[in-house]
Structure 1
Amino acid sequence: MDSVFKALADPHRRDLLDALRRQDGQSLSELQAALPLSRFGVAKHLGVLEDAGLVTRVKRGRFTDHYLNAVPLTEALARWIEPYAVAPAVLGVLDLKARLEGTKMTDTKPDYVLRTYIRCTQDALWEALTDADAAANYHPFTPTAVRDGDTIVYKLPDGADMLICREMAKTPKTRIESEFVPKWAPDIPVSRFVWTIDPQGDACRLTLEHYDIPPGGEGYAEGWERLTAGLKTWLETGTPTRITAPQPEEAR
């Protein structure tokens, strides 16, 4: 966590994060155009942000796109800020937006990318992502999920469907590609997301890519960040952790 606060201490690095918050998935050249820095300077600052886990690079052939990875910020928020009920405006930095278009996952870059490292086995992480019963230990919005064949249905407290995730392709213990069907807002079109697991010694690197995010889906990012932070804490400590959104002052 020290590296996160150190990375945020520099105003140029904060400007880079702001630029990615406004438009995720930018190249080095695009980021340089928005800052009064040389290409080398921008690359150096991006390296610091990447080392802190705040920026993720995704290569597409000859191109490299940079994405804001808010998981470390979410973890800091859960540890240092939410317990003290700091103003909800702090959550704004976690509300990432993407306005990219595309139809084929193989031809387009993701609208949103999240990456974190979890100290657990590949088997444990795979089971956590595919076992519907495991959702009760980390899902921020519902403790109930049921599996029906290749589909996981997440339920609201009243038993109504909240979210349907239909698995379109799976590589055992490595990759899951799924449809994302938001039943809480049936007017929002279906989109797609991919989980990728890469073993890294005694840990696993977990990457989420969300494609085809439609207008109205701007809040998906914060949901993924809370879910992944809860998943990481549960797998590393054994303590079920659901990082829910703070209630408004009048509801407390």
Structure 2
Amino acid sequence: MDAIFKALNDPARRALLDSLRATDGQTLTELEEQLDMSRFGVMKHLKVLEDAHLVVTRKRGRFKYHYLNALPLQEMITRWVHPFLQPHAAALTDLKAQLEETSMSKPDFIMSTFINCTQDALWDALTRGDIVARYHFACQAARGTMQAPGDEIAYLRPDGAPMLSNRVIAIEPKTRIEMVFLPAWGDDTTESRCVYLVEPTASGMKLTVEHYDIPAGQPGIGDGWTRFLSGIKTFLETGEAHRFFPEMQA
């Protein structure tokens, strides 16, 4: 928590977060052009943001891309701000990920969280439909498992119709799952691609979601991932299911 407050206590770092909120996945050069400071100065500010887990990076070829990771801010707001707000005011503080269509060579969206659990427990929660249905914000039933290429989990509406499906493209047991992301809501049901990265740390597990090739006609995916990660974290750390419904459904 101290690292987050330190990271936010500088106008240059806040400007970097605002820039990534507007256009995610920028290079150091792109960010440097927006600030009146040296390249080394921008690098130092980005390092502080990375240490606070507010920015995550991915390297593709010669370039390193920077992404806003809003989840630590959401957790800070939930703990320190929401309890002091009236429900109608709290709704105004919800963090919405700003998605922009970019090239296929890098993710359109990245988000990470840290979970106090075992690797086996996290893996089961990601790959077993019966467990996913206990914490997912938008469905209370899911069928299937994801253990091998071609496996699929189908997220179901109350009437049993599909809402979303994830089909495995490639898998590294307990480490990485690459999936087809096929929505069944709204006007655009174009497939995209997402990845779960599972990493042990000294004090628990780190879970990262990468989403590629997001169509412009599928808004709200970033907000959905925020609710998904908050749900799985709460479930694994408390043993209790809590669904972070969108406010209109709460």
Shared fold (TM-score greater than 0.5)?
yes
Give the CA deviation at 1:90.
2.6
Work out whether residues 177 and 195 of structure 1, in 8 Å CA contact, stay in contact via their aligned partners in 2. yes
What residue is the counterpart of 1:105 in the other structure?
none
Q: Distance in 1 between matches of 2:187 and 2:179?
A: 17
RMSD, aligned α-carbons: 1.9
Work out whether residues 78 and 243 of structure 1, in 8 Å CA contact, stay in contact via their aligned partners in 2. no
Work out whether residues 188 and 215 of structure 1, in 8 Å CA contact, stay in contact via their aligned partners in 2. no
What residue is the counterpart of 1:147 in the other structure?
144
Alignment partner of 1:214: what SS? Answer: coil
Which 10-residue stretch deviates more, 17-26 or 148-157? 148-157
In the alignment of these two chains, the number of paired residues is 243
CA deviations 1:63-93 (Å, max 9, x no partner) are 21110011112212333444532254433x4
What residue is the counterpart of 1:13 in the other structure?
13
**Aligned pair partner of 2:99 in 94, 97, 100:** 97
Work out whether residues 74 and 226 of structure 1, in 8 Å CA contact, stay in contact via their aligned partners in 2. no
- Written as runs of structure 1 = structure 2, the 5 A alignment for 1:126-145 is 126-145=123-142
* 1:46 to 2:46 alignment: yes
Which 10-residue stretch deviates more, 143-152 or 207-216? 143-152
Alignment partner of 1:94: what SS? Answer: coil
Q: Distance in 1 between matches of 2:183 and 2:65?
A: 27
What residue is the counterpart of 2:215 in the other structure?
214
Q: Distance in 1 between matches of 2:205 and 2:16?
A: 27
* 1:35 to 2:35 alignment: yes
Q: Distance in 2 between matches of 1:59 and 1:195?
A: 17
Normalised by the size of structure 1, how large is the TM-score?
A: 0.89
Structure 1: tracts of 5 or more residues without a match: 103-107
Work out whether residues 188 and 214 of structure 1, in 8 Å CA contact, stay in contact via their aligned partners in 2. no
Which 10-residue stretch deviates more, 145-154 or 119-128? 145-154
What residue is the counterpart of 1:166 in the other structure?
167
Which 10-residue stretch deviates more, 199-208 or 174-183? 199-208
Which 10-residue stretch deviates more, 26-35 or 237-246? 237-246
Q: Distance in 1 between matches of 2:207 and 2:143?
A: 23
Q: Distance in 2 between matches of 1:142 and 1:5?
A: 35
Work out whether residues 82 and 246 of structure 1, in 8 Å CA contact, stay in contact via their aligned partners in 2. no
Q: Distance in 1 between matches of 2:154 and 2:133?
A: 13
CA deviations 1:162-219 (Å, max 9, x no partner) are 1111111111111111111110125231101000111113412211110000012231
The AA in structure 2 aligned to 1:90 is T
Structure 2: tracts of 5 or more residues without a match: none
Q: Which runs of 4+ in 1 moved over 4 A?
A: none
Work out whether residues 96 and 218 of structure 1, in 8 Å CA contact, stay in contact via their aligned partners in 2. no
Normalised by the size of structure 2, how large is the TM-score?
A: 0.90
* 1:228 to 2:225 alignment: no
Distance 1:81-1:155 versus aligned 2 partners, 3 A rule: farther
Q: Which has the higher contact order (CA 8 A, sep 6+)?
A: 1
Which 10-residue stretch deviates more, 13-22 or 141-150? 141-150
